[in-house]
Amino acid sequence: MVQYRYLGNSGLKISEITYGNWLTHGSQVENETAIKTVHKALDLGITTFDTADVYANTAAEKVLGKALKGQRRESLEIFTKVYWPTGPKGPNDSGLSRKHIMESLHGSLKRLGTDYVDLYQAHRFDYETPLEETFQAFADLVHQGKVLYVGVSEWTAEQLRAGHALAEELGIQLVSNQPQYSMLHRVIEGKVIPTCEELGMSQIVWSPMAQGVLSGKYLPGRPAPQGSRATDKKGGARMIQRFMDEDTLEAVQNLRPIAQDLGLTMPQLAIAWVLQNPNVAAAIVGASRPKQLEETVKASGVEIPQEAMWRIGEVLSGVAHMDPEETYSVSPKTRP
């Protein structure tokens, strides 16, 4: 069964394996299968579910809401996000203005079939909206009881520090950041994680398997398997491209003996690795069918010996992305 961790310095516990529906619900997976997969997650002890209004242009929230209908709300932690455009993409249909935050949250609550969300996250930093406006809107939603905690996604160390200070002034808790993090993408280790440790914030990390590359299914010198993310022309191939060079694929294959020595599959090793970082509260995983989750959750509670961590570092030396400057190029300078 899945273990639980505190989210930042708050009293909220979340499942360290968190179910996310970014690329599955409302798009790649039929609704019936998606609902069965959510129910399997619940059976395995996953209580935390992460989504966003932009996923499948609001359809992912609707599917998750349907899947969780009838469950005891108090036993769940439901996370969603705001920033990216939804609907007809008008001038106020994106960003972190008060108008967009308020309208987006109310839309999310309706689609999810709930009166509140446990964590509401700024999906990116909005350079076009005063930070004070954004956090006042978040604070109002917290004080109204529609949002319990506030988080962000892919913010820089400086942005996190500024947001945390404003949150404190307004009497609310900024508890988390949701960045990409994996053995192959470690750019948050230089500045973001030390800042969050200082501020009492956790990481809820996405793509712990580096878009599936760390599963080991992509072999150097061979075409990507049909139906895999690397062959997905809807955007998956673009997302995974940065990890598809020959050197990286060869290095990943050298992780197999380490996984075997630990009695883990490659996906389990990848997820367990991110959970070794004490600043990580949860690893977000997706699944296209219930069976996948049965193996994934076995990474929960795994302790990788330090010697194995060193071996992993050596194997991936030279191919892992480490430059903290990459954190400064994630949020668009203008609203999309």
Q: Quick one: pLDDT at residue 229? A: 58
CB atoms within 10 A of CB 283: 29
Q: Quick one: pLDDT at residue 89? A: 86
Can you give the residue ranges of every domain in the chain? 4-329
**226 phi-psi bin (left φ>0, alpha ψ -120 to 50, beta other):** beta
CB within 8 Å of 162: residues ≥ 6 apart:
131
For 80-116, the pLDDT digits (tens) are 999 999 988 899 999 999 999 999 999 999 999 999 9
CB within 8 Å of 209: residues ≥ 6 apart:
182, 215, 267, 270, 271, 285
Q: Which fold has domain 4-329?
A: TIM Barrel (3.20.20)
pTM: 0.94
Confidence of residue 161 (pLDDT cuts 50, 70, 90): very high
Q: Which of 42, 44, 34 is CA-nearest to residue 66?
A: 34
Which candidate in 4, 19, 55, 120 is catalytic? 55
Q: Quick one: pLDDT at residue 289? A: 85
Is residue 55 annotated as a catalytic residue, yes or no?
Answer: yes
> H-type helices in 44-130, by residue range?
59-68, 98-112
Name the maximum alpha-carbon separation found in the chain: 56
Backbone angles phi, psi at 185, to 5 degrees: -135, 95
Q: Calculate mean pLDDT across residues 241-259.
A: 93
CB 8, CB 201: distance < 8 Å? yes
CB 322, CB 190: distance < 8 Å? yes
